[in-house]
Structure 1
């Protein structure tokens, strides 16, 4: 018994020594969001807005009174409210970024980890360099995609004009058809990259009530318009009239991507089901097929940009490799979670859970 107790003490000491040594601010909070403990790096952050004469003892004080940053207060208050409503369980975490009020131009990343006994561990780190690198990458992709769009439009116009000339020989006709096909494929990639750039830059209108049954009917009609050759059996089940608080253009794009993806990887004559239903934790959108399925080792990487399970098949079906990356970004904007289930040779199910807070 004594040996176990000593080992427990040693583990605790090592743990706290490690937290003390971290350059990031680490703060332990109780169920009322008051400070129970903090490491040395956090003291500067917690007392930055007090003079030497009135620096308080931060222990027992509410974190929202100590960190006088309106961006942090707004984001943390939302996370804390969700915590009180039971939306987070022990061992789950929430992340958010906010601009620093101490060092102008700096960006900080906060992670709130939920612990047993209704405690929270708040970790705040300087995210400025990573944020700037991400912004440079996003700007570069957006700018290059935008610059490519005009010359591509001109090329596609001339290819369409000359390729439709009545006196064009069969030899040249085949060449023009290939050029038009590749130009369209490149145009699709550019459009998808621009969509990702808009999503990452958050250039969007405030969320509004989205009529989900109507959006899903539009998706169904769009899918049927692309279904002439494959003759898939597409079923739409609207089991709830619930609407979502969100951005209709992005939601339509994400859902259509999921459905078109199912069509691409389901043999002709296969079955695809789209289901919209209310569940205990919110609303669930399911897109299921009886297609070729996906091997388990690929599932965790499907939402990466340009990741392809079978690159040859993706090119043959006209895929850009960006569809599921767009889906991921749209769902993040709507606080939704994507779950993927698949069995090779039997089919796949892409399920999206929207939280109750998004239902209207």
Structure 2
């Protein structure tokens, strides 16, 4: 539409220019009449430009001054664009108003951070939870959350998990802090009061620990009496029940020990022992040697592609590795094969336990590290597991900044791999050593 009106305007101006030249020729002044026409034409254009500028300056109210030709089209397009902008602005204002109502209704503190980690905006809950005031906008967020864990979390830019720090308003309460990235370098900081949740977790852990401690003594007594009965001259008809009772007591004792270990892993931070050197090749050699002594142990191969060790807690790592290897022994047939492989790459260390067992269906894999989760409950009980082994592995690896990956194919076997970060590794010259059963 704009192009056709421009063409018409050009044709009209050219026609009038030619007409003025012809009329001027009739009266003997062709150039003077043409010049006069150009002066009038330019004056008209300046006048229309002045009207447009005044209309824009006054806020583009109404449809604009009455005009024809290209100037009428200009007023029309500007007025239509103005109406569209007003509708868009009104719609955006509605969205913004809804967003403000939503964030104000949130019970958790929400802070919008700039690229430089300055506070750009926050909701009312942030005033209550973090003690912020309206004039704190533009200030650096670290000025209000003065905790080394938060500073490390903010600057490391790894926001995949949540951290917990004391509240800056009430030191007796704890806040769960999570940062979400969005837009061009902006971030949304969410702070939630997790004091009650932490208290409930502590009560649960204390309950599990207390009950487990209370069970240990009677189980130890029962085990002692059963061993005494097994070694004595008990009637033949009692031998099988006594043996069965002994197996159940051992299983219950293992369950209690695992519950106590999980309670400790959940409640305690990794202590200074986490900085000790753990000789992984030696540790794996000991676990595999013990596994080979078990009845029905399949072929077990230990491959050491690295002499490197780890900085960590030796007892925790032994528990995690032992659970993985014993699980493989438990669920692999006697004529099967288990390969335990320790290797190192640029990314860090990796312990892989591969077996040729029945394998696990894909739908079960996401739940394997949950407590007491069993793929086949009947068979798991027959094998003597507590249902807590992989939960322990998950907690131990998490405390060592490591990750557990599970791959399995039904009918072919499974592969459990523990990936440790490079900063946990103690580098030694690599070589390949293989132990065969």
Using the alignment, how far apart are the partners of 2:108 and 2:425 within structure 1?
36
- The secondary structure found in structure 1 opposite 2:135 is coil
Q: In the alignment, which of 204, 208, 212 is matched to residue 141 of structure 1?
A: 208
Task: Please point out which of 348, 355, 378 is paired with 1:289.
Answer: 355
1:259 matched to 2:325? The reply is yes
**Correspondence 1:162 to 2:229:** yes
CA–CA distance in 2 between the matches of 1:357 and 1:31?
28
Judging changes above 3 Å, is the alpha-carbon distance between structure 1 residues 117 and 281 closer, same or farther for their aligned structure 2 residues? farther
The match for 2:151 is 77
Q: Which residue of 2 aligns with 1:193?
A: 259
Structure 1 partner of 2:105: 21
Q: Classify 1:358/1:322 alpha carbon distance in 2 versus 1 (closer, same or farther; 3 Å).
A: same
SS in 2 for 1:254: helix
Task: State the shift of 1:110 in Å.
Answer: 1.1
Unaligned runs of 5+ in 1: 49-54
Higher-Rg member (1/2): 2
Give structure 2 stretches of 5+ with no counterpart: 1-80, 427-437
SS in 1 for 2:204: helix
Normalising by structure 1, report the TM-score: 0.86
**Counterpart in the other structure of 2:127:** 43
2:131–2:169 CA contact under 8 A, matched in 1: no
Deviation by residue 1:116-162 (Cα, 9 ceiling, x = unmatched):
53433221101112111111111000001001111111110110011
What is the CA deviation profile of residues 181-223 of structure 1, one whole-angstrom value per residue up to 9, with x for unaligned ones? 1111111111111111211221753111322222222222232
- SS of equivalent to 2:156: helix
Distance 1:5 1:343, change over 3 A: farther
Greater shift, 1-10 or 132-141, is seen at: 1-10
Rounded to whole Å, the distance in 2 between the matches of 1:269 and 1:58 is 70
Displacement, 1:109?
1.0
Equivalent in the alignment of 2:290: 222
Q: Which of 378, 381, 384 is residue 318 of structure 1 equivalent to?
A: 384
Answering whether residue 285 of structure 2 is matched by residue 211 of structure 1, we say no
The TM-score normalised by the length of structure 2 is 0.71
Match of 1:307 in 2: 373
CA RMSD of aligned residues (A): 2.6
Which moves more between the two structures, 109-118 or 153-162? 109-118
Separation of aligned partners in 1, 2:265 and 2:138: 40
Partner Cα separation in structure 1 for residue 403 and residue 256 of structure 2: 26
The answer to whether the 8 Å contact 2:129/2:193 transfers is no
What is the match of residue 51 of structure 1? Answer: none
- The alignment of Structure 1 onto Structure 2 pairs a total of residues equal to 340
